[in-house]
Amino acid sequence: MAEVVLNGVGKVYPDGTRAVTDLNLTIADGEFLVLVGPSGCGKTTALRMVAGLEDISEGEVRIGDRVVNHVPSRDRDLAMVFQSYALYPHLSVRDNIGFGLSLRKMPKDEIHRRVEEAARVLGLTDHLDRKPRNLSGGQRQRVAMGRAIVREPQAFLMDEPLSNLDAKMRVQTRAEIARLQRDLGVTTIYVTHDQTEAMTLGDRVAVMKKGQLQQVAPPQELYDRPANLFVAGFIGSPAMNLVQGTFAGDADDPRVEIGGQSLALPDKVLSERPALGDYFGRNVVVGIRPEDMEDATLVDAPEGTTLTSTAELVEAMGSDVLVHFAVEAAQVVTEDTKELARDAGTDVLGALEAPRTVLVGRFSPRTRVRVGDPVTTRVDTGRLHFFDIDTGAAIWGTDAAPSGRNEE
């Protein structure tokens, strides 16, 4: 078990394509770090560089005290779980799990002991003599895990290990991976495009976009204090509503205007974000989490904390109700939101005839709102997020900046 350090790591392919840029990460001994981002963001490339399956173009990768840039995969003492599981089809489950050990010339009885132990932990004891083709998807996944854990490596690398499982199996296996990693205490780097997996598994989560690290933080911090528009939009489901607004009023009565409606901000908003003082009278991006909205008829809704509109779509989820409604404020069209839209498979409409943005609120199931009804939404104005409209960076104080791109 060891610390894994990426220091200014970059990847440029021979044809000039840049996959990863100046990646700095320190994964502490025993830490579970999740690399998350939309497809093509370079997370898998980064993982493969740590694994030694991909040459490192720039910077260095350290495992423990050793710079491994030029160490071949087999000598890095890492174990990897592949998206496809990559089980050896001609070997039994037992031989699959023990393959790495037998290559290391470990005594037969020691291999036997370790394989039996791993199989017991993973519930594979009854399947040890079967071939991979006779196993279910979940069992194959566990064999792949078993192959990693018997090695007792310096670190685990996992490349979307759950993406080939069906939804139910995925939740179950996710919990199993979390438990295993905690019990074994092995440093783990886990790549996924699923933000739920990232949030539930990671001690810390690193969000990447187009080869660049956006933010590294524990899941809750990522959710509470996203460093920029991209992280804000990527973490959380349903995604944070992003809308253009004007920061108005004065230091005693800060307000934000959204499509002709005004929200009064509590004092703590300014005190928590000293930098926001420079934005009076300017356009900003306002981020509102669906969870921070509620049907105003169900809660206490003082003046200046509500938005009124018409419900365009009502989705009852059982535990809560998602209500879509539009406000007459301009959409946020930046490089970040385009990237988010591309990931979600939707298009950002450019300039419309009239400024219009659809917001999604997560209401209590007690709401009586139906499609077409007028809806008044209570917004928790203390939990709004503000971003610079040009740079997309979150507006905080200079010294209170959240952990940003370069962590030390």
Partner 1 sequence: MSTAERTDEMGAVDTAKLQTVTASGAPRRGLAARLVARIGGGAAQALLALVALFWLIPTFGLLVVSLRSNSDNNAGGWWQVFTKPSQLTVDSYQNLLGKADFVDSFWNTVAITVPSTVLVVVIASLAGYAFAWLEFPGRDWLFLLVVALLVVPVQVALLPVAELYGKVDFGGFQMMGSITGVVLFHVAFGLPFAIFLLRNFFAGIPRDLLEAARMDGGSEWTIFRRVVFPLGGPAIASLGIFQFLWVWNDLLVSLVFADTDAQPMTKWLQSQMRQFAGNIDILAPGAFLSLLIPLAVFFAFQRYFVQGVLAGSVK
Q: With contact defined as beta carbons under 8 Å apart, do 147 and 99 qualify?
A: yes
Please tell me whether residue 190 binds partner 1 under the rule CB under 8 A. no
73 touches partner 1 by CB under 8 A: yes
What are the strands, taking DSSP E only, across 148-240?
155-159, 187-192, 204-209, 212-217
- Going through 86-240 in order, the beta strands assigned E by DSSP cover 155-159, 187-192, 204-209, 212-217
Q: Does 273 help bind partner 1 (rule: CB under 8 A)?
A: no
For position 264 contacting partner 1 by CB under 8 A, the verdict is no
User: In the complex with partner 1, which residue's Cβ is closer, 90 or 268?
Assistant: 90
Window contacting partner 1 (CB under 8 A); options: 114-122, 132-140, 347-355, 399-407: 132-140
Q: What three-state secondary structure class fits 376?
A: strand
Cα 36 → chain centroid: 4
Q: Does 168 participate in binding partner 1 (rule CB under 8 A)?
A: no
Edge-to-edge strands, sheet with 253-258: 261-264, 253-258, 241-250, 283-288, 385-388
Candidate list 125, 134, 271, 406; residue touching partner 1; CB under 8 A: 134
- Amino acid code (one letter) for 99: F
- Using the contact rule CB under 8 A, the part of the chain among 51-59, 191-199, 268-276, 362-370 near partner 1 is 51-59
If you search the block for the tokens 């970040």, which residue do you land on?
Answer: 336
Residue with smaller CB distance to partner 1, 153 or 392: 153
The stretch near partner 1 (CB under 8 A) out of 78-86, 182-190, 219-227, 272-280 is 78-86
Distance, C-alpha 405 to centroid of its chain: 15
Q: HSE (CB half, 13 Å, CA atoms) of 82?
A: 8
Q: Which of 6, 386, 376, 345 minimizes the C-alpha distance to 208?
A: 6
Query: ∠ at Cα 286 (251, 347), nearest 5°?
Result: 165
Q: Alpha-carbon distance 134 to 130, whole Å?
A: 7
Residue type at 43?
K
332 interacts with partner 1 by CB under 8 A: no
Among 137, 185, 372, 374, binds partner 1 (CB under 8 A): 137
Q: Does 268 bind partner 1 (CB under 8 A)?
A: no
Residue 108 near partner 1 by CB under 8 A? no
Distance CA 41, CA 197 (A): 17
Is residue 132 close enough to count as binding partner 1 by CB under 8 A? yes
Interface size with partner 1, residues (CB under 8 A): 34
The interface region with partner 1, picked from 58-66, 79-87, 259-267, 309-317 by CB under 8 A, is 79-87
- Site stretch for partner 1 (CB under 8 A), options 26-34, 87-95, 261-269, 281-289: 87-95
**Applying CB under 8 A, which of residues 35, 79, 293, 314 lies at the interface with partner 1?**
79
Residue 70 in the binding site for partner 1 (CB under 8 A): no
CA distance 259 to 245: 7
Among positions 377-406, residues that touch partner 1 (CB under 8 A) are none
Strand ranges inside 330-373, DSSP E: 357-363
Partner residues linked to 156 by β-bridges: 79, 188
Q: Which of 8, 13, 67, 74 binds partner 1 (CB under 8 A)?
A: 74
DSSP 259-327: TTEEEEPPHHHHHH-GGGGGGTTSEEEEEE-GGGEEETTTS---TTSEEEEEEEEEEE-SS-EEEEEEE
Contact with partner 1 (CB under 8 A) among 30, 40, 64, 100: 100
Binder of partner 1 out of 103, 167, 351, 354 (CB under 8 A): 103
Q: Quick check: 51 binds partner 1 (CB under 8 A)?
A: yes
Which of 164, 297, 331, 403 binds partner 1 (CB under 8 A)? It is 164
Residue range at the interface with partner 1 (CB under 8 A); choices 63-71, 133-141, 174-182, 286-294: 133-141
DSSP class of residue 36?
E
| Residue choice 43, 94, 114, 151 for contact with partner 1 (CB under 8 A) | 151
- Residues near partner 1 (CB under 8 A) are 51-53, 72-75, 78-80, 82-90, 99-100, 103-104, 131-135, 137, 140, 147, 151, 157, 164
